């Protein structure tokens, strides 16, 4: 996918401040322009917005979800709790849709879940 640079100029501040703040702002603006110009290519590369997903993975209740970004296939009802993770003393619910697992997310859905890995580099 060809990358088209942004043509909208971002005007720099009208005056310089002590400590080379102007250089910092210019660098930040260049970084932002680069990232926005590369956005579609990055999304395609990591499997979001037209890329591929990994094969479906079926997990039973109480199974641990492996590390990575995942997309819920079953259940496919939005805002359905499919799992949970314990962070210190707080239990955090994981909902259907796209989510991240650090390998410690436990499936809570009684019928299990079917998920596909997102960001499947291909």
The full set of domain ranges for the chain reads 1-45, 56-117
Cα 75 from Cα 26, distance rounded (Å): 47
pLDDT category of residue 100 using cuts at 50, 70 and 90: confident
pLDDT category of residue 16 using cuts at 50, 70 and 90: low
This prediction's pTM? 0.57
Structure token digits, residue 41: 């290519």
Above 80 in pLDDT, residue 1? no
- 27 backbone dihedrals φ, ψ, rounded to 5°: -65, -45
Res 63: pLDDT: 97
Above 70 in pLDDT, residue 80? yes
pLDDT category of residue 23 using cuts at 50, 70 and 90: confident
Quick check: helix, strand or coil at residue 109?
coil
Q: Are 107 and 113 in contact (CB under 8 A)?
A: yes
Q: Which of 38, 37, 73, 34 is nearest to 56 (CA)?
A: 73
Quote the DSSP letter at residue 76. Answer: -
């Amino acid at each position: 996918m060809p990358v088209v640079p942004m043509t909208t100029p971002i005007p720099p501040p009208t005056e310089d401040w002590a400590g080379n703040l102007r250089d910092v702002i210019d660098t930040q603006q260049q970084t932002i322009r680069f990232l926005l110009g590369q956005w579609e290519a990055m999304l395609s590369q990591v499997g979001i917005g037209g890329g591929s997903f990994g094969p479906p993975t079926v997990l039973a209740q109480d199974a641990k979800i492996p590390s990575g970004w995942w997309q819920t296939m079953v259940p496919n009802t939005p805002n359905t709790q499919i799992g949970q993770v314990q962070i210190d003393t707080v239990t955090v619910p994981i909902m259907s849709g796209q989510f991240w697992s650090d390998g410690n997310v436990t499936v809570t859905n009684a019928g299990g879940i079917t998920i596909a890995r997102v960001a499947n580099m291909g």
